[in-house]
Structure 1
Amino acid sequence: MIFDPTPLSPAEEELRAEVRAWLADVLPADFRPGLGLGGRHDPEFTRALARRGWIGMSIPTGYGGAGASTVRRFVVVEELLAAGAPIAAHWIAERQTAPALLRFGTEEQRRWFLPRIAAGECWFSLGMSEPDAGSDLASVRTAASRVEGGWRVTGTKVWTTNAHLNHFAVVLCRTSPQGDGDRHAGLSQLIVDLGADGVQVSPIPLIDGEEHVNEVVLDGVFVPDERVLGEVGQGWRQVTAELAHERSGPDRYLSVLGLYRAFLAVHGREPDDVRAAAIGRIGAQLWAIRQLSLAVARSLEQGEAPAVEASLVKDVGTTFEQQVVETLRDVAGGEIDPGGPTMFDRLLAECVLNAPTWTLRGGTTEVLRGIAAKALTRSAR
């Protein structure tokens, strides 16, 4: 695995300052930050961001994007996550679907979807996990059968973020039986209209009362041939490449930055030795993980597919996030009070309820470590 040190250029630092100033201007003074990629679904904010050219930055100008580098996008995303901005409307489409369309999509798909994504007008969910197929995606049971002009899709997807609000989902399904015991064969990706006949979306209430994830039942949903993403039967290869974008970004270590800042506001002015040690340790770890993530962004910018490195960043980043919550909870002392007087009280209560999911979404810790271990074993031979 290669993580080359990579500083930001003066132009990239200038972009950071511009984004930070804009966010300070548009977010209200009493704004409650979201937990990283758990920011609110706010179409108006998404459209305002798009007007600045900060959505679909890596999409070529011919498809409505900015044609910017992966690292410039990294800089913008890092500032949005650091501020806890309401990014959920465009998040999946911009982070994951657009790169997949550029790499595997047809020209017709690119010209239809990409300008709408860059304008903040087309929102996507991920149709991967199922009741019996979470991190083990090769065991998906959702199936698509061939019909005239397309496919009929039947199955159930779960933990489908914002499917009740978004327009489309890229669904991983089985289009042919696995051959010779290879569970990865015969899988395909289809772009499903979430408003189509046969699609039923039901919220899954979470422990904190939020209902932003859903069960999506597909009952004979028709998907035309022109909405097949990539090659039929190559879904596993495509998903694996796609996960490098999902697993390596700042969203995998910045969910707790708002909590950390709120802690500093309350306990950081004259900390005792225990709190000072926690502050320093968290800051150092955060900076180190950021350098790993930035190195992956540079690698993606150069046209590489660092899936293994991305898996390691996701594992290290989400484990770190959970440790930060427990550390700050311990050193702050006192009862957890979701209605407490400070932002730290409220964010700590939210983090305690949500943190267990952070090492699950995007691939469990065990799966990611298995991916890294296999790669390290191969390189040692």
Structure 2
Amino acid sequence: MVSFRFDPVTLPASTLALRDEVRAFLAEELAAGRFTPHRNSWGTFDAEFSRRCGERGFIGMRWPQRYGGREASALDRHVVIEEMLAAGAPVGAHWIADRQSGNNILANGSEAARASILPRIAAGECYFAIGMSEPDSGSDLASVGMRATRTDGGWRLNGTKIWTSVAHRAHYLIALARTAPPGDDRRAGLTQFIVAIDAANGVTTRPIHNLYGAHEFNEVLFEDTFVPDDMIVGEIGAGWQMVTGELAFERSGPDRILSTFQLLRQLVARLAETADARSNVAVGRLVAHLVTLRQMSWSVAGMLERGASPELEASVVKDVGTAFEQEIPEIARLLVPEQASLTRGDLYGEALAQSVLSAPCFTIRGGTREILRGIIARGLGLR
């Protein structure tokens, strides 16, 4: 039976100094009134904030300097992301490109793709979406139906992707498409492509509005969309291996722990003068869970720094972390009998309203709970 463990990580002095640097930057942003913490999540889109992050070297941190990076460690990047999320910073514009797409291009893309795209991501001026999910596939990613057919100088893509966050604002997405029939192994014959989101090239985005009317998700249609050979990611037919490795970046970070952190902060502030034994126990339990999840997430960052591929550990962090994120608004509603509202101007009420409306998707995005537990069971040799 396979086992796993989350070894503790000790942060070097340089990483602790970087934490102070990020906090100072965020304090400047807050003092200038450039964002409102309790109204933000890691999906909040602010192009100018991303550009300022790029100027400070907070995007693409692990990448070589020739591509706009600062050749920092995985621990350095982790502390930047954690501070940004804890402060409620609007990091959504550069989020996907920095978290996974850029890393995928750096590891598996052509030199032409690296040279033309990575410096713009690092500058906070190039945004990505994820082209994995499809209308008829759900969480069964191996059943994707988008087709890529060979043509002169590249490939033609036809098909549809769905639940594609920020595709209406992104410059590119990395699309998973089938370049060969699946045969006995459905995971074979899949390839990743860097696709410019360009209506002139047969790409159409259609909005999908969420429960409170916001537009983050999209349906994206591809009709004979041309992708040149130098925008293939990795080897033809090796898309599945890259997708599973990419998901380790997507599933293990602080974003799977801190989505409702602003509500937790407001809850503690609201209870400061009226706390009783019941609320102290409930909040103390949430804080203890948060501390443990942080240690687990930091441990995965340490594994990534050592060059490991912690897909199993990342799945555990994502499963437990998103359950924790969903629990915070439920506990808050029990402890403070107050109506949630996005418009009343009350800090606690607004944070509660946003958390209640967004929490149902936490255990779906990035891999549903059921799929993750299947991955964990297989990784442990239980099935």
2:307 paired with 1:303? yes
Q: 1:24 aligns with which of 24, 27, 48?
A: 27
Please list every run of 5 or more consecutive structure 1 residues that lacks an aligned counterpart in the other structure: none
Q: 2:333 aligns with which of 329, 334, 337?
A: 329
1:188-199 equivalent positions in 2, closer than 5 A: 188-195=191-198, 196-199=200-203
**8 Å CA contact retained: 1:34, 1:85:** no
2:293 paired with 1:289? yes
State the shift of 1:2 in Å. Answer: 2.5
1:310-349 equivalent positions in 2, closer than 5 A: 310-349=314-353
Alpha-carbon distance between aligned partners in 2 of 1:66 and 1:184, rounded to the nearest angstrom: 35
Match of 2:41 in 1: 36
Question: Cα deviations across residues 174-226 of structure 1 (Å, max 9, x unaligned)?
Answer: 011012x2100000001111014211111101111100111101111111111
Q: 2:236 aligns with which of 232, 235, 247?
A: 232
Q: Which moved more, 1:262-271 or 1:248-257?
A: 262-271
State the shift of 1:16 in Å. Answer: 1.1
Q: Which moved more, 1:234-243 or 1:274-283?
A: 274-283
Q: Secondary structure in 1 aligned to 2:259?
A: coil
Match of 1:125 in 2: 129
The one-letter code sitting in structure 1 at the alignment partner of 2:161 is K
Q: Secondary structure in 1 aligned to 2:22?
A: helix
The one-letter code sitting in structure 1 at the alignment partner of 2:28 is D
Please list every run of 5 or more consecutive structure 2 residues that lacks an aligned counterpart in the other structure: none
Alpha-carbon distance between aligned partners in 1 of 2:87 and 2:219, rounded to the nearest angstrom: 30
Q: 2:227 aligns with which of 209, 223, 227?
A: 223
2:153 paired with 1:158? no
Alpha-carbon distance between aligned partners in 1 of 2:330 and 2:376, rounded to the nearest angstrom: 26
2:143 paired with 1:135? no
Question: Cα deviations across residues 78-115 of structure 1 (Å, max 9, x unaligned)?
Answer: 01111111111111111101111121112222112111
**8 Å CA contact retained: 1:35, 1:255:** no
Question: Cα deviations across residues 24-53 of structure 1 (Å, max 9, x unaligned)?
Answer: 111255724345322x21111111011111
Alpha-carbon distance between aligned partners in 1 of 2:262 and 2:281, rounded to the nearest angstrom: 19
The one-letter code sitting in structure 2 at the alignment partner of 1:4 is D
Q: Secondary structure in 1 aligned to 2:373?
A: helix
Alpha-carbon distance between aligned partners in 2 of 1:33 and 1:93, rounded to the nearest angstrom: 24
Match of 1:97 in 2: 101
Question: Cα deviations across residues 331-368 of structure 1 (Å, max 9, x unaligned)?
Answer: 11233333334211011111111100000000001111
- Change in Cα spacing, 1:34 to 1:190, as seen in structure 2 (3 Å) is farther
The one-letter code sitting in structure 2 at the alignment partner of 1:37 is W
**8 Å CA contact retained: 1:35, 1:256:** no
Alpha-carbon distance between aligned partners in 2 of 1:45 and 1:125, rounded to the nearest angstrom: 18
The one-letter code sitting in structure 1 at the alignment partner of 2:42 is L
The one-letter code sitting in structure 1 at the alignment partner of 2:153 is G
Alpha-carbon distance between aligned partners in 2 of 1:135 and 1:294, rounded to the nearest angstrom: 27
Alpha-carbon distance between aligned partners in 1 of 2:106 and 2:132, rounded to the nearest angstrom: 20
State the shift of 1:8 in Å. Answer: 2.0
State the shift of 1:266 in Å. Answer: 1.5
Q: Secondary structure in 2 aligned to 1:215?
A: strand
1:361-376 equivalent positions in 2, closer than 5 A: 361-376=365-380
Q: 2:11 aligns with which of 1, 8, 13?
A: 8
2:350 paired with 1:355? no
Alpha-carbon distance between aligned partners in 2 of 1:242 and 1:90, rounded to the nearest angstrom: 16
Alpha-carbon distance between aligned partners in 2 of 1:76 and 1:37, rounded to the nearest angstrom: 13
Q: Secondary structure in 1 aligned to 2:340?
A: coil
- Change in Cα spacing, 1:342 to 1:218, as seen in structure 2 (3 Å) is same
Alpha-carbon distance between aligned partners in 1 of 2:339 and 2:61, rounded to the nearest angstrom: 43
Question: Cα deviations across residues 289-341 of structure 1 (Å, max 9, x unaligned)?
Answer: 00000000010011111011001100010011001111111111233333334
How many residue pairs were aligned?
377
Q: Secondary structure in 1 aligned to 2:222?
A: strand
1:155-304 equivalent positions in 2, closer than 5 A: 155-179=159-183, 181-195=184-198, 196-304=200-308
Q: Which moved more, 1:361-370 or 1:194-203?
A: 194-203
Alpha-carbon distance between aligned partners in 2 of 1:256 and 1:362, rounded to the nearest angstrom: 16
Q: Given the two structures, how large is their TM-score scaled by the length of structure 2? A: 0.95
Question: Percent of pairs identical after alignment?
Answer: 49
Q: Secondary structure in 1 aligned to 2:275?
A: coil
Q: Given the two structures, how large is their TM-score scaled by the length of structure 1? A: 0.96
The one-letter code sitting in structure 1 at the alignment partner of 2:284 is G
